[in-house]
Amino acid sequence: MKFMAKTSLSPSIGRYIGLKQALGRGFAGERRVLESLEEFMIDTNVNAWTQSVFEQWCRTVAHLSPTVQRNRMRVVRNFCLYVRRTDPGCFVPDIDDFPRPHQSVQPYIFTDEEINQLLHAAAKLGPVPLSPLRPQVFRLAIVLLNTTGMRRGELANLTLADYDQRTRSLLVRESKFHKSRYLPLSDDANSEVAIYLAARRRKHLPVATDSSLLWNWYRNGYSGYGLGDGIHELIRETDIRTADGRFPRVHDMRHSFAIRALLRWYNAGVDVQVKLPLLATYMGHVSIASTEYYLPFVAELAAAASTRFAGRYGTLIRPFSDGGAA
């Protein structure tokens, strides 16, 4: 039996990973980070955990981007906070010393006109031997991404068994955070699925329940990357660009879905705060905090919120004589 060297952190690492996995988290990425730390300590013949050891380990990831470095350091820091519960003397890295993350990309909100442009561009795609339904596949992909807000990986993993014609819903299985959820479809989206499946039957393509919904001959279905590349091609073809001239991301369709949901609620006069947990569940989030990431304060939201505020409290605000507000 091969002898495996241990460090002073090894028992705590094992317990910490076991705890997180018992709580339902995959924790695969975090586990690799902690195991790399343990291997570093073993390889450098270090047993005690100190600030100096942490700084030496940080140098082994210095070639990575600042955001990736910061994320890995945060994994170690969170682990150290766990250890400190039972060992008050455990060194905990100071988060202020971590590299500053890249500024997050401002999401792009697709307009209805731009979505229609993408649908028209998809219709012009030609079928290819390995993807005889390429125009229909990308039309349906654009429709579902924009009407359900699902992640493109979730879309790529759907099978025919995940579509329930009777309830007009899709089942997203074991997605991010190991959460499964049903997504009720709008009438238009459900019609698009029905049209696509009819075209698939006419072509005598596989209809087994375990066949991918978005099917091709490559691997019994498109991958998330394959869908992303195809939609990026359509975005370039239609020359849809952000204010700074870049092409939007496919993930921006998820942002657009969330923003449109809020605008509908504002315009309908409903209590948005009451609706947010529903949106979080529909999008597969573990909390409202995750959903808020998809809700940047864009001009349309600002106008809707301002109108709502003015309608309820506008009579309480009186202007100053010099034009200000009281």
Residue 326 lies in a domain: no
What confidence score (pLDDT) does residue 23 get? Answer: 87
Residue 297 lies in a domain: yes
**Are 125 and 230 within one domain?**
yes
**Are 267 and 231 within one domain?**
no
What's the mean pLDDT in 154-162? 95
Please tell me the pTM assigned to this model. 0.68
Residue 61 lies in a domain: yes
- What whole-number distance in Å separates Cα of residue 235 and Cα of residue 239? 6
Which positions ≥6 away from 170 have C-beta within 8 Å?
144, 148, 150, 158, 162, 163, 164, 182, 183, 185
For residue 195, the domain's CATH number is: 1.10.443.10
What's the mean pLDDT in 182-208? 95
- What whole-number distance in Å separates Cα of residue 283 and Cα of residue 274? 16
Q: Does residue 112 surpass a pLDDT of 50?
A: yes
What confidence score (pLDDT) does residue 141 get? Answer: 97
What confidence score (pLDDT) does residue 289 get? Answer: 77
pLDDT digits (tens, 9 = 90+) for 116-132: 999 999 999 999 999 99
Torsion angles phi and psi, residue 163, rounded to 5: -100, 125
How far is residue 281 CA from its own chain's centroid?
A: 13
- Give percent above pLDDT 70 in the chain: 94
- What whole-number distance in Å separates Cα of residue 74 and Cα of residue 93? 9
**Are 119 and 20 within one domain?**
no
Secondary structure, 3-state, the chain: CCCCCCCCCHHHHHHHHHHHHHCCCCCHHHHHHHHHHHHHHHHCCCCCCCHHHHHHHHHCCCCCCHHHHHHHHHHHHHHHHHHHCCCCCCCCCCHHHCCCCCCCCCCCCCCHHHHHHHHHHHHCCCCECCECCHHHHHHHHHHHHHHHCCCHHHHHHCEHHHEECCCCEEEECCCHHHCCEEEECCHHHHHHHHHHHHHHHHCCCCCCCCCECCCCCCCCCCCHHHHHHHHHHHHHHHCCCCCCCCCCCCCHHHHHHHHHHHHHHHHHCCCHHHHHHHHHHHCCCCCHHHHHCCCCCCHHHHHHHHHHHHHHHHHHCCECCCCCEC
**Are 92 and 137 within one domain?**
no
What confidence score (pLDDT) does residue 40 get? Answer: 94
- Which residue is it, tokens 């204010």? 243
What confidence score (pLDDT) does residue 220 get? Answer: 79
**Are 133 and 213 within one domain?**
yes
Residue 277 lies in a domain: yes
How many other CB atoms are there within 10 angstroms of residue 266's CB atom? Answer: 17
Choose the final residue of a domain: 37, 65, 97: 97
Q: Does residue 301 surpass a pLDDT of 90?
A: no
Residue 321 lies in a domain: no
Q: Domain residues for 70?
A: 10-97
**Are 54 and 155 within one domain?**
no
Choose the final residue of a domain: 49, 70, 97: 97
**Are 64 and 33 within one domain?**
yes
What's the mean pLDDT in 197-201? 95
Tell me how many domains the chain contains: 3
How far is residue 222 CA from its own chain's centroid?
A: 18
The larger pLDDT score, comparing residue 325 to residue 43, is at 43
Mean residue pLDDT across the chain: 89
What confidence score (pLDDT) does residue 297 get? Answer: 67
Q: Does residue 41 surpass a pLDDT of 90?
A: yes
What's the mean pLDDT in 170-177? 82
| Structural tokens at position 188 | 């238009």
Choose the final residue of a domain: 183, 208, 238: 238
Q: Does residue 285 surpass a pLDDT of 60?
A: yes
Residue 170 lies in a domain: yes
What's the mean pLDDT in 158-180? 89
Q: Does residue 196 surpass a pLDDT of 90?
A: yes
How far is residue 5 CA from its own chain's centroid?
A: 38
- What whole-number distance in Å separates Cα of residue 303 and Cα of residue 313? 15
- What whole-number distance in Å separates Cα of residue 168 and Cα of residue 152? 20
Highest mean pLDDT among 3-12, 95-104, 285-294: 95-104
Residue 39 lies in a domain: yes
Please choose, from the candidates 134, 153, 311, the residue with its C-alpha nearest in 3D space to the C-alpha of residue 230. Answer: 134
Q: How many CA atoms lie within 13 A of 144 on its CB side?
A: 32
**Are 73 and 119 within one domain?**
no
**Are 91 and 133 within one domain?**
no
Do residues 217 and 130 make contact, with C-beta atoms less than 8 angstroms apart? Answer: yes
Q: Name the pLDDT band for 271 (thresholds 50, 70, 90).
A: confident
Q: Find the range with the poorest average confidence among 25-29, 159-163, 309-313.
A: 309-313
Do residues 192 and 142 make contact, with C-beta atoms less than 8 angstroms apart? Answer: no
**Are 128 and 211 within one domain?**
yes
pLDDT digits (tens, 9 = 90+) for 234-270: 999 999 999 889 999 999 999 999 999 988 888 888 8
**Are 75 and 53 within one domain?**
yes
First to last CA, the chain: 79
**Are 73 and 156 within one domain?**
no
Residue 44 lies in a domain: yes
| Structural tokens at position 13 | 């690492």
Q: Name the pLDDT band for 292 (thresholds 50, 70, 90).
A: confident
